[in-house]
Structure formats: structure tokens, C-alpha cells
Amino acid sequence: MGSTFGKLFTISTWGESHGAAIGVVIDGCPPRVPIDLAEIQRDLDRRRPGQSSITTQRREGDRVEVLSGVEEGLSTGAPISLLVRNEDARPEAYEPLKDVYRPSHADYTYEAKFGIRSWKGGGRSSARETIGRVAAGAIAKRILGDEAGTRIAAYVKRIQDIEADVDPSAVEPDAVERSIVRCPDAAAAERMIARIEEVRRAGDSVGGVVEMIATRVPPGLGEPVFDRLEADLAKAMLSLPATKGFEIGSGFSGTLLTGSQHNDPFYMDSGKVRTRTNRSGGVQGGISNGEDIIIRVAFKPTATIFREQETVTSAGEATTLRARGRHDPCVLPRAVPMVEAMAALVLVDHWLRQRAQCGPGDARRA
């Protein structure tokens, strides 16, 4: 089971949704990096359940504990182990579902893969696994910010057919956090919240799109063949639960343009090579060009809904299922810190790889 991500800055997540705890081991973090637990906790609080009326009402404090790798507030260079204890797990609630395949969940495929099924909340396929990613991502964001000045900000761009009018370069994190749906367009956010509440009352769910911008990304990150920066970003994002699509820069809309319309012209700005447009989304030939990296990630409607659905049992018998329990009617508000975390993990890994290849003295490349 692949639970490790990265090459130099690696994370290994562990734990199940309804087990004793969830955690992550970070290996490759440079020594003397300030490790601020309050900073990590802020991102975990943005991810945790029960934070608003439009998220699952599972009550978890998600308080982070450090088990190793940190002394006097600094990383030691040893593996950093972080743990979050499950406080409101209710595995018994899933007992009636242990022999039933939930539509669009990982129940059937998990069993087909491993010959055994983790029916207590989905086990490793549960979105609760992302606690470790978000905690590690907070440390990655600190390294990128301190060493390269890179800032990463994500927000909800669209819920179903309600789309925000947002200039990514003008997005401020405070504006994102002012809304429980994490959309900086106040008017669109109000409509999004109303739509989510409407489908929740109807026992249904909706999906949407999270957009992310990374500013001040150094040029030279990524590789031209299999480890292309956009390929690693795509893998990172599509490894998140409920994701179904990835775009960078112009994305699929770029297919409507001609080459002369789509190309990003170069110019010199105070001795730096820049592009006048950014349809490439900050990556050309698999390598960052120094412009803002802009991506979009599509999330499907939450699979668990409170309407009767056709399914079968593990014995192949036809049955119907009406879900019970505590579930998000829309995953998008809680997915925002997950997208930020995965982007930070990719960028810090490539930043360390570039620094190792070119040396810390080459400021342009490292």
C-alpha cells in the first residue's frame, strides 16, 4: 500500500479514520527549521470536521502532538513524527454496512485489491488520512516561505454551477477564511453556502473546483521528462480523496486557442526574464519559469448521501442502501488546506532537489 510521497522531503502517513490515531512521519526535513505547532494547528483547524454548519458534524479537536525530530522549536534533521488522536470515532456505526458496497466509495475496489475490506469508515481510503498531509504541508510551507519567499493560497472557485469571480493574484488568505465555504468572492460565497445547505436538507451532495496560486516560485524547479513539475502536482492533487480532475494554467480552455493566442511572450524586467501572460500556469517544459503557478482541482460530489441507492452485498445479492452517520454535503471547504499542503510538499521536494543539484549559492536556481 503506497503511503509514502516525495523523494528528498518525504512523508509517510499512517492510521485509519476510526482507529486510535492518525499521523505522519516526515523524513528529509533540513535541520534548524522553526517548527511552530500553532502554525501547524491552524492548518489542521481549517481541515478538521465540525468547523461549520456545512461540514460533517463529527467532533474532533485534531490537536497535533510531536513525537520526534524537534528540539527547542527547531527541526533536528531526524525524522519528524506527528500524531493526532481520534476522539470521536464511532466504528460501530458502520457495522450494518460491513457487507454492503457503498456506491462510488472504495469498498469494492479495496476488497478487490487486498482481499480484505476496511469497513470501519473506509480505513485508509477515508479523507481523515489527509491529517498527516496537512500537518506536513504546514512545515513545507514554512520552509518555502523562509527560504524562497513562496506563498501558497487556495480557495473555492466553484460549487456546482456557482462560480466565483476571483483574480488569483489578488487573493488574500484572510478573505478566504472570512467565509465558511472558503471563497473570497463574498457574493458567490453566499450563494454557494445556500446551495450546500439546500442539497444537505435534500439528503444529497455537490462538488466543485478548488483553485490555487503559488507566488514567488523560483525558476528551475522540476524536470523535463518523468518528474515534470506539473506531473508531480497532478499526481499530488489526484491522490486526494474525491478528486476527479486537474488543470494548470489555461487547462482545458487552452485547447480553444491557437498557438499565437496561447503562447506567453518573454520580456526583461529589471534583469529578470518574465512572461507577459501566464497561460502556461508558471510551468514550461516541466520546469517552473518563475511566474505564478496556478492550478485547479475538481472534486466530485461526496459519495455518501442520505438517499436510497441501489447496490449489492459482498455475496452478490441486490439490495438498497440509505446511508447514516456524519458526512460532508460538500468536501470543498475542507479540501482547501489539503490542496495547499500537497502543493507545498511537491514544491519543497523539488526545491531541495534543485538546491542539491545546483548548490545553495545559485540563487536563481535554488
Cα-atom radius of gyration of the chain, to the nearest Å?
21
Contacts of 146 (CB under 8 A, 6+ apart): 33, 34
DSSP string for residues in 286-341: TEE-SSPEEEEEEEPPPS--SS-EEEEBTTS-EEEE---S---S-SHHHHHHHHHH
Lowest average pLDDT, out of 85-99, 121-135, 195-209, 240-254, goes to 85-99
Contacts of 277 (CB under 8 A, 6+ apart): 264, 265
Mean pLDDT of 218-229: 96
Indicate the pTM of the whole model. Answer: 0.94
The residues spanned by each domain of the chain are 4-358
CA gap 132, 40 in Å, rounded: 11
Beta bridge partners, 23, equal 14, 83
Amino acid at 219: P
Integer CA distances (angstroms), 307 to 58, 270, 330, 331, in order: 20, 60, 15, 18
- Looking at per-residue pLDDT, the higher value among 98 and 42 belongs to 42
Cβ atoms 278, 295 nearer than 8 A: no
Q: What is the DSSP letter of 30?
A: P
CA gap 93, 271 in Å, rounded: 62
Residue the block writes with cell 523539488? 350
Give the helix ranges, DSSP H, for 90-154: 107-114, 130-148
- Count CA atoms within 13 Å of residue 134 on its CB side: 28
Contacts of 83 (CB under 8 A, 6+ apart): 21, 22, 23, 64, 65, 67
- Average pLDDT of the chain? 92
Binning the chain into helix, strand and coil, the percentages to the nearest 5 are 35, 25, 45
- Band the pLDDT of 53: cuts 50, 70, 90: confident
Closest among 137, 126, 122, 123 to 11, alpha carbons compared: 137
Residue the block writes with cell 523523494? 7
Lowest average pLDDT, out of 43-57, 129-143, 252-266, goes to 43-57
CA gap 243, 86 in Å, rounded: 24
- Report how far Cα 285 is from the mean position of its chain's Cα atoms: 24
| Cell matching residue 121 | 469508515
CA gap 363, 347 in Å, rounded: 16
CA gap 221, 351 in Å, rounded: 6
- Domain 4-358 matching CATH 1.10.150.170: the answer reads no
Does the pLDDT of residue 363 top 50, yes or no?
Answer: no
| Cell matching residue 276 | 507577459
In this predicted model, what pLDDT tens digit does every residue of 315-358 receive, in sequence order?
A: 999 999 887 666 789 999 999 999 999 999 999 999 999 999 88
CA gap 357, 226 in Å, rounded: 17
In this predicted model, what pLDDT tens digit does every residue of 286-316 receive, in sequence order?
A: 999 999 999 999 999 999 888 999 999 989 9
